[in-house]
Amino acid sequence: MVLLLAVAGPIAYSIFSTPDRPKTPVFETYPSGKLENAVQALDQEIYDALMALDIPAEDVTFAQVQTVKSGSEQWTYSELTVHTRKAVTPTAKKRAFVERLGDMTPRPDIRFRVKSTHKTVIDVSLGGHRTHRVVFVPFVERPTPIPKKTDRPKVAIIIDDMGYDLEVASRFLQMDVGFSISILPHSPFQVEIATLAHNSRREVLLHLPMEPLEYPTVDPGPGALITSMSPNQLLAELKRDLDAVPYISGVNNHMGSRLTEDAARMRQVFTILKKRRLFFIDSLTSPNSQCARVARLFRLPFAERQVFLDHSQEANAVRFQIKRLLSIARKRGRAVGIAHPYPVTFEILSEQMPHIQQEVNIVPVSQLTTS
């Protein structure tokens, strides 16, 4: 059971920007046209259907999250358990889901089964591929056991795209949480933010720009590694990027859906990272990423992102993504989440952190790498 793939295409930062401040480069999840793109849109509509039924986010749990592959397709299957505190008729459930999902393109197949007076199962499929199961059960008040600290799963949360706003970076660093901070090279406040993070005993990563599939329409920003570069050009650019941000102990990719699919290019990149004793975190912007295979070849400390916490900048969507991350961590013993410096991300992480820290241990992402 692995990753949650995020909604397609670049999403631009409009927050925190002022007329005299350089705009932060866009971030990339999976490129358009993939089944997972539609799955992410379905996620949002399912959340909205549950909200329309007055079911709070805290009464929804993820019983299962897993990556499914069929031929060339790859998507995330999620099973949600909805604990209903008040009676909700099967008709009301069906109406809410049909109203929210019925006008989507591509249109999902929605199957309703009333298993008993108190249990309803809703299966959602796209193109014959089941993507979600939503199970409604009665709410039962039970004390939630808090695992001992030594027994808790480990979760790393990387805050990406730092470097363009010192105030926002300071807000995240003031939280008493061991976030890993990933900083874009050649950004206005790269040194100041890296120094603040280092002095706060936070792990610092280089957020390395790489070519996306949509390049040159989508620009990954200064210091980007591009597939058309000669080996010497690529390595020289990589070294400039690595030297630009102080205190780094590892690297994760900014964009990169095209470059991470190129095993030869990633071998060049990993040769330098290995020499500098740096780890690599694959942000997984492509389902065809070659990073894991090449990292194994090099025995390079490596991990993959499981969940983008804020591909949708809506409070309940972020809450649900946090639940996904914790569900993965409980099953696997560890999980990596990536977030971005949005106001809503800061707000929900601040709100949810006491609960998160009861369930898991937040650790530097280097602790979750293997080689």
CATH code of 65's domain: 3.30.460
Asked if pLDDT for residue 283 goes beyond 90, the answer is: yes
Residue 186 forms part of a structural domain: yes
Domain match, 182 and 314 both: yes
3-state secondary structure of 280: strand
DSSP character string of 136-180: EEE----PPPPPPGGGSPEEEEEEEEESS-HHHHHHHHHSSS--E
Instruction: Give the model confidence (pLDDT) of 125-150 as tens digits.
Output: 999 999 999 999 998 876 666 677 77
Domain match, 171 and 301 both: yes
Rounded to an integer, the average pLDDT of 57-70 is: 88
Domain match, 153 and 276 both: yes
- Residue that is last in its domain, among 138, 161, 189: 138
Asked if pLDDT for residue 40 goes beyond 90, the answer is: no
Residue 2 forms part of a structural domain: no
Domain match, 163 and 184 both: yes
Residue 341 forms part of a structural domain: yes
Domain match, 192 and 316 both: yes
Residue 234 forms part of a structural domain: yes
| Domain limits for position 172 | 147-368
Domain match, 312 and 232 both: yes
Domain match, 202 and 264 both: yes
Domain match, 124 and 202 both: no
Give the domain CATH number at 245.
3.20.20.370
Q: What is the pTM of this model?
A: 0.86
Can you tell me the distance from the alpha carbon of 283 to that of 281, in angstroms, rounded to the nearest whole number? 6
- Residue that is last in its domain, among 91, 107, 138: 138
Domain match, 195 and 308 both: yes
What percent of the chain clears pLDDT 90, i.e. is strictly above it? 76
What percent of the chain clears pLDDT 70, i.e. is strictly above it? 89
Question: β-strand 109-116 against 119-126: which pairing, if any?
Answer: antiparallel
Q: What is the pLDDT of residue 18?
A: 41
Can you tell me the distance from the alpha carbon of 35 to that of 128, in angstroms, rounded to the nearest whole number? 11
Domain match, 230 and 362 both: yes
Q: How many domains does the chain have?
A: 2
Under the banding of pLDDT at 50, 70 and 90, the label for residue 3 is: very low
Under the banding of pLDDT at 50, 70 and 90, the label for residue 1 is: very low
Q: What is the pLDDT of residue 33?
A: 45
Residue 113 forms part of a structural domain: yes
Q: What is the dihedral of CA 103, 104, 107, 112, to 10 degrees?
A: -70
Of 30-44, 52-66, 349-363, highest mean pLDDT: 349-363
Residue 51 forms part of a structural domain: yes
Domain match, 201 and 241 both: yes
Rounded to an integer, the average pLDDT of 88-95 is: 94
Rounded to an integer, the average pLDDT of 29-36 is: 62
Residue 24 forms part of a structural domain: no
- Residue that is last in its domain, among 95, 119, 138: 138
Domain match, 217 and 238 both: yes
Can you tell me the distance from the alpha carbon of 55 to that of 73, in angstroms, rounded to the nearest whole number? 32
Instruction: Give the model confidence (pLDDT) of 256-275 as tens digits.
Output: 999 999 999 999 999 999 99
Residue 52 forms part of a structural domain: yes
Mean pLDDT of the chain: 90
Under the banding of pLDDT at 50, 70 and 90, the label for residue 17 is: very low
Region for 38 from its dihedrals, namely left if φ exceeds 0, alpha if ψ lies in -120 to 50, beta otherwise: alpha
Q: What is the pLDDT of residue 12?
A: 38
Q: What is the pLDDT of residue 107?
A: 93
